[in-house]
Amino acid sequence: MPPADPYNEEVRACFANPAHAGELDGDHARVLAAQAGDAASGARLALSAGTDNGIIEALRFRAWGCPHLIAAAEVFCREYEGKPLAALRQFYANEWMARLRIPVAKAGRILLLEDTASMLADNID
C-alpha cells in the first residue's frame, strides 16, 4: 500500500493559499496580539485581531512550523472573523485534529494555536 498523503485537501488548500497570513490592514477600534512557541519547540505562532464593539473584525496570523500549523491558523482566522471576542475562550483546538487529519504526534502544533487564541482572549479587558 502506498503511504497515505499526510495532508488532506483542506490542509493543502489552506497551506497553498493562506489568505490571512500577514498583518492587519485598515483601522480597527482596538487591536489585540498574542504570540506563542519558540524555535526549540519547532513552531511559533502570532495572532493579531482587529476588534470593534467586542466583535472580531479581522484576524491575521504569522506562523513558522509545519503545514498543519499554517493550515490550522488559516482556518482559525477565517472562521473566527465576525465572531464575538468571547468566542475565543471557547476554541478547543483538539476538535480540529480529525478535521485537519493532524497526527497525534503533532498534537502540540494544534495546541499551540489553542494557547495563542487563549492568550489573545486574555488581552480582553
Spacing of C-alpha 102 from chain mean position: 14
59 within 8 A of 26, measured Cβ to Cβ? no
Q: How far apart are CA 80 and CA 88, in angstroms?
A: 8
Contact range with other proteins by CB under 8 A, out of 42-50, 51-59, 77-85, 89-97:
42-50
All three cell numbers of 24, joined, read 492587519
| Residue 34 near other proteins by CB under 8 A | no
Q: Can you list the positions of beta strands (E) in the chain?
A: 30-38, 43-52, 55-64
Among residues 10, 28, 30, 64, which is the contact residue for other proteins, using CB under 8 A?
64
Contact range with other proteins by CB under 8 A, out of 24-32, 44-52, 83-91, 92-100:
44-52
| Residue 62 near other proteins by CB under 8 A | yes
Binding site for other proteins (CB under 8 A): 7, 12, 15, 18, 21-22, 35, 39, 42-46, 61-67, 70, 103-106
